[in-house]
Structure formats: C-alpha cells, structure tokens
Amino acid sequence: MALLEVRGVSKTFGSLKALGGVDVTVQPNTFHGLIGPNGSGKSTLLKAIAGAHFADGGTISFDGMDVTTMLPADRSRRGLSLKFQITAVLLELSVYDNILLAFQAHQPVWGLLRSLSRRNLHPEVMAALARFQLADRADDLAGELSHGQQQWLEIAMALTQKPKLLLLDEPTGGMSPEERRATGDLLVPIKQHCAMIIVEHDLDFIKDICDRLTVLDNGQVLDDGTVAEIEASTKVQEVYTTRV
C-alpha cells in the first residue's frame, strides 16, 4: 500500500490558482523528488501535504488515514514531518537544545515539567548530533552555525520524530558544492527508516538520491516516473530549456 496518496489536490490563493488537481503517490522507504520551474506549485503542494495550508479540493491520504483537514501537529504525531524551506531552527537556543526540543515533543506536560525524560533522551540527542556532524557544536547557539549546518540541524530535528515520511523543502538552498555533497551523503542512509519528498531546484542532487520524480508545471502534474524515465521525457525537456 502506498504511504502517501495525493488525489486531485487544488489550492487557490485569491485569484491565483497555485495547484489545480494534482495526483502524487509515494511508496514507503523511497525518496520522491518534486521538481518544476519557479512558481509551479512545488512548495504549495508540500505545504498542503504537511498541513501548513489546507487544500481547497482533493484528498490527501497518509498511511491509510485521510489527513486532508488535519492540523499539522496531528499529522506530525502520525509520522509526517516537515522541514521548512527557510531554516526555522531556534537561533537563540543551543544546537543541543534544538534537538532536545524536537525529541521531547510527545512527552506529557507533567513529564516535561519534572524533566523526567532529560536523562533518557541525552544519548539519543548526542547520537542525532553525531549523525549530522554537529556533535562538536552541541553547546553553540544554532544561530552561530553556517547555513549548511543549520539545514542539517533542521533535518536532524525533523527526523527526531521518527517520521514515516519526511518532507524537505529545498534542503540544499544556499549550500556550497561540498555541503551539497555532504547533505546527499547524510540523507541516503535515512531511506532505511523513512520515505522522503524533496522539493529541489538542483537537478543533479535530485537525480543522485531520488528514486522517483514528479514534475509540476503551473500547478499541474507534467510527468511522473523514475529518474531515468523523467530524464528521457520529452515533455519535461520542453519545459526545461536549460539544465541547472
């Protein structure tokens, strides 16, 4: 059974029709890329899946459940996690505290007040930091990290919920080529635990790590298939006059 089924989702902002009946299917433990020219609706679609916007029409079904009108917090509880396009790490907190904040999110309020899980979560926090090459920056403020490192922190925080599906909106935005490569290396091992939808402009990065791609144009699905299929697709080549 597919992990995520998006059927006929549409979204209009005022007079702008950002999405007009989009279908996407994502299987478990796959990386699914979402590409298309600027303004094609990639981010809007991602946000609709995450719950940052509510779709005007269509259905979104995640892990067998209809989440079309569910609040983001509730989608998150069910295993759907979003990493924002603009890094939203908490800049005034330390790297450690950022991850801890993510890890402790489902603790009951009373437990948080008594700091019951602090000790137990410590190894998990350190492990997450290590995995994303942030262990030596644990006590630094998140605001002191480089842009690339902040992205990694974001991804690490999104993964703390052990989501089944992770949504990444432009994870390599503003990164240097080395950082981009490193990001790819960090993400691939996650495939064992988690599926991913990645919105990206960098087509090389997408080709390297994704299994399937969906191409959007003007709020509609232009083409959908494996990386090889999309590369060969003439429809897509027409839309993309240059390869970035």
Q: Among candidates 4, 27, 128, 22, which has minimal Cα distance to 75?
A: 4
Binding span for another protein by CB under 8 A among 37-45, 118-126, 192-200, 205-213 = 118-126
- What would the DSSP string read from start to end of 64-83? TEE-TT--HHHHHHTTEEEE
Which backbone phi and psi does 54 adopt, to 5 degrees?
-100, 135
Residue 197 beta carbon to another protein: minimum distance, rounded to whole angstroms:
15
Question: If binding is defined by CB under 8 A, does position 44 make contact with another protein?
Answer: no
CA dihedral 185, 190, 194, 195 (to 10 degrees): 20
> Is residue 115 a contact residue for another protein (CB under 8 A)?
yes
Structure tokens at 30: 């796959």
Beta-strand relationship, 4-13 and 165-169: unpaired
Binding part of the chain for another protein, among 36-44, 98-106, 203-211, 228-236 by CB under 8 A, reads 98-106
Residue 85 touches another protein, criterion: CB under 8 A:
no
How many chain residues are in contact with another protein, going by CB under 8 A? Answer: 48
In 3-state terms, what secondary structure has residue 89?
coil
Q: Which is nearer to another protein, 66 or 136 (CB)?
A: 136
Q: Does 235 bind another protein (CB under 8 A)?
A: no
Residues of this chain that bind another protein (CB under 8 A): 50, 52, 71-73, 76-77, 81-82, 84, 88, 90-94, 96-97, 100-102, 104-107, 109, 111-119, 122-123, 125-126, 135-141, 157, 161
